[in-house]
Amino acid sequence: MNISIRQLTAFIKVADNGSFTRASEQMYLTQSAVSGLIKELESSLDIVLFDRTTRQLTLSAVGRHLLPQARRVLNEMHLFENEASSLTSLAQGQVRLAVSQFAASSMPAVIAQFAKDYPDISVSLLDCSAENVLEHIQDIEVDLGVGTELGFMDTEDDINADLLYELPFCVVIPDNHVLAKKSELIWQDLIDNPLITLQGPFLEQVTTELDETVAAHIQQARYKVNFMSTALEMTRQGFGITLCLPYMPEVIDWVSANGLLMRPLLQPVKTRRFFIYQRSSRSLSPATVAFKQFLQTYFANHFNDLPKD
C-alpha cells in the first residue's frame, strides 16, 4: 500500500466540494488528474470512497468514516513539514551542552548572548567534571561538550575535539606587591610567597613540566580552595598570591577594579587548552551547528585582549 499526500488532498478536496471540477481548480490540476488520484487511492485501499451518479457525487459510507482520519493524517504531515522547516531555518530547536568547571564559569554569558540572536533555540546546561563531559557525549545525553584537554582523548575513536581557546597561566598579585615592580614574572618568582591555589586537577595541570622546586611550592601551597572566586578574594585580603586562568573578561575587570594585577608567567609559558567535544558518528542538528559556530566566534572575539607584559 502506497498512499500519497496528493491522493489524500484530492480525497478531502472532492469531499469538501462535492465536485471534481471545483477540487481540480483548488489543486491547480485537470479534472481528469484529480479523478485519477481518487481512483488510485480507491484501488490501493480496495474500497469505494464516493458514490457516483450522472447528477450527484456523494461520499460512500466508507468514505464518510475515513474522511476525518484523512484530515488528521494530512494535518500531521503538514505539521511534520513545518517542524522540519523550522528546525532547518533555526526558527526553533534545542541544544544540550555539558561543560567542565572552568568552562561553566563563562558559559552563562555565552548562552545569554546566543539567546538574543536565536530566541527560539533553547540551550540546556549540564556542569560536571572534565572527565564526565565525554561520558555524557558518549551516552548521547548531550549534543556538545566544552572542557579542558583530556589525556585519554587518543583512546576515544568516536569523539571529535575542536580547539575552542587556549589560555596562559597567570599570577594574581596586589598592585602594591613587590612582584608588581618586575617587568616580567617567571615561575621561580612564586618561591617565598604565600600561595593560594585551587584543589584537584588544576594543581596537576599547572605543575606539569615545572622545575621541581617550583612544583613542590605550588603543591604545598599554604591555602587550597575549591573556587577561583575564593582564591581571588583571599588575594585581595592579603592572604597571599594566586594562580589563575583569564577565562572571562569579567574576571580580568574584577581583578583590575579591586587593586590587583593579573600577569602571565614565563619561563616556561604554560597554557591550558579548551575544546568543543562531539561524537564523530552523530550528525548535529541545525540548531546545534549554529550554537557551535556561535561559541567559536564568541571566544575568538573575547580572548583577544588577554593580559600581556
45 is in which domain, residue-wise?
Answer: 5-88
**Are 183 and 257 found together in one domain?**
yes
For 141-151, how does the pLDDT look when each residue is reduced to its tens digit (9 = 90+)? 899 999 887 65
**Are 241 and 212 found together in one domain?**
yes
What are the distances in angstroms from CA 130 to CA 19, 33, 228, 274?
67, 62, 16, 10
Angle at CA 227, nearest 5°, toward 221 and 231?
Answer: 50
**Are 177 and 157 found together in one domain?**
no
**Are 262 and 176 found together in one domain?**
yes
Percentage of residues in the chain having pLDDT higher than 90 = 58
For the chain, what is the largest distance between any 2 Cα atoms, rounded to a whole number of angstroms?
Answer: 107
**Are 281 and 150 found together in one domain?**
yes
**Are 154 and 199 found together in one domain?**
no
**Angle between helical axes of 101-117 and 286-302 (0-180°, round to 10):** 110
Average of per-residue pLDDT across 179-200: 93
**Are 43 and 13 found together in one domain?**
yes
Domain membership of residue 192 (yes or no) is yes
**Are 188 and 158 found together in one domain?**
no
Site of grid cell 513539514 = 81
The one-letter amino acid at 252: I
The one-letter amino acid at 38: I
- Asked if residue 161 lies in contact with residue 275, where contact means CB atoms within 8 angstroms, the answer is yes
Contacts of 50 (CB under 8 A, 6+ apart): 14, 15, 38, 57, 58, 59, 60, 63
The number of folded domains in the chain is: 3
CATH number of the domain within which 289 lies: 3.40.190.10
**Are 54 and 38 found together in one domain?**
yes
The structure's pTM equals 0.65
User: Which has the closest alpha carbon to 261: 156, 171, 128?
Assistant: 171
Cis peptide before 268 (omega within 30 of 0): yes
Average of per-residue pLDDT across 10-35: 94
Domain membership of residue 307 (yes or no) is no
Contacts of 171 (CB under 8 A, 6+ apart): 179, 185, 189, 190, 241, 242, 243, 244, 262, 263, 265
**Are 121 and 153 found together in one domain?**
yes
Output the pLDDT for position 104: 72
Q: Where is average pLDDT lowest: 14-18, 38-42, 152-156, 158-162?
A: 152-156
Question: 64, 88, 112 — which closes off a domain?
Answer: 88
Question: Phi and psi for 163 in degrees, rounded to 5?
Answer: -60, 130
Name the average pLDDT for the chain: 87
Domain membership of residue 140 (yes or no) is yes
Cα–Cα distance measured from residue 107 to residue 144, given in angstroms and rounded to the nearest whole number = 13
User: Which has the closest alpha carbon to 144: 186, 106, 190, 97?
Assistant: 97
Domain membership of residue 309 (yes or no) is no
- If residue 195 lies in a helix (H) or strand (E), which one and from where to where? strand 195-198
Domain membership of residue 308 (yes or no) is no
User: Which has the closest alpha carbon to 94: 276, 289, 275?
Assistant: 289
Output the pLDDT for position 19: 92
**Are 119 and 175 found together in one domain?**
no
Domain membership of residue 282 (yes or no) is yes
For 266-291, how does the pLDDT look when each residue is reduced to its tens digit (9 = 90+)? 999 998 888 999 988 888 888 899 99
